[in-house]
Amino acid sequence: MLILGLETSCDETGVALYDTSRGLLAHALFSQVDIHVEYGGVVPELASRDHIRKALPLLEEVLTKAGCTAADIEGVAYTAGPGLVGALMVGATLARALAWGWGVPALGVHHMEGHLLAPMLEEERPDFPFVALLVSGGHTQLVRVDGIGQYRLLGESLDDAAGEAFDKAAKMLGLPYPGGPHIARLAESGDPERFNFPRPMVNRPGLDFSFSGLKTYTLNTVTDCKANGELSEQDKCDIARAFEEAVVATLVIKCRRALKQEGLKTLVMAGGVSANRNLRASLERALSKEKAKVFYPAPEFCTDNGAMIAYAGAQRLAAGQRDGEASAVRPRWPMAELPPLSAGLATGVSA
């Protein structure tokens, strides 16, 4: 079954073609970072307008790459939520119009389910059950996954998501949006001994996160450094190092705790922050000591992308799920509301 996937939940326009027999055939992505950077964050109206401009050219590009035509497509999957409502409506409207015109089914896909299943695009894929760390600009969650659609929330951020905290810390240091890659680059030259930032909520029971206090601690450190003048480049590197290490250590501690609580040895990490090399290395070191394993997508599939939507949609479309007439986008959408698939229907091949 050949499925077209469309991702327009925020500031990336993603299009992909996934075949349940042959795997990922082609994908293309346009990032709006250059549009939003001067505003220090995503401007919803600008994001929606750019999705309108880019979606069809990307679709044509993907069809050409895959050597396919519209007549080959057997279903259309699109991000129905969560996300920016205007951006979601662009993708949903286009997807359902294409599906209607082609006479094929359409299905709205949960954005975070797409991220959670993105490691399934790799050659080596995790087996169910596992614990998933979903960590991005909008979400930080730990989820027990027993199968597609079989999700139980274990813990989540009570305030800022980890990616959002990276963006805010970067802004304090005068770095551009998005902040994560810039923090990571500076952290490589930072002195690990100069600052020791707190690991929030690690001394409390449970699996919830909170990064607002760490954000305040970072601001206070920046203010103290500025008392003697402007921040030096080394000041920025040292603060970035301490901030990144605090976030990474917090995530690692909570992941180990979640695996122990659930009695599992497999962790899946997905979302934009999962591309952080320090986080990947730290998790691998920590879990190897406990004979546990971590899986994550290729860097190109960590951020929002059409491939993950095409894959997730293919699993559900192949199981017979379809949009109804009353289907609508959902800016807020708990994953626990998703219907489960039986293990036999969660099929697919690697990219």
* Residues annotated within a binding site for substrate: 134-138, 167, 180, 276
Amino acid occupying residue 68: C
Any idea which residue has 């990064």 for tokens? 211
Q: Are strands 266-270 and 130-135 parallel, antiparallel or unpaired?
A: parallel
Any idea which residue has 């949609």 for tokens? 313
Q: Which two tokens stand for residue 268?
A: 């899946």
Gap between the Cα atoms of 83 and 197, Å rounded: 31
Looking at the DSSP bridge assignments, the partners of residue 75 are: 3
Where does residue 31 rank: exposed (0-12), middle (13-18), buried (19+ CB within 10 A)?
middle
Within 10 A of 235 (CB to CB), how many other CB atoms are there?
21
Contact 65, 24 (CB under 8 A): no
Alpha-carbon Rg for the chain in angstroms: 20
Helix (H, G, I), strand (E, B) or coil at 107: strand
Gap between the Cα atoms of 47 and 90, Å rounded: 10
Contact 51, 12 (CB under 8 A): no
Q: Which two tokens stand for residue 240?
A: 């970035």
Per the annotation, binding residues for Fe cation are 111, 115, 304
Per the annotation, binding residues are 111, 115, 134-138, 167, 180, 276, 304
Within 10 A of 38 (CB to CB), how many other CB atoms are there?
9
- Helices (H), ranges, the chain: 33-36, 44-66, 85-102, 111-117, 162-172, 179-187, 212-226, 233-262, 277-288, 306-318
- SS3 labels along 55-77: HHHHHHHHHHHHCCCHHHCCEEE
Looking at the DSSP bridge assignments, the partners of residue 28 are: 15
Element at 306 (helix H, strand E): helix 306-318
Contact residues for 212 (Cβ-Cβ < 8 A; gap 6+): 159, 160
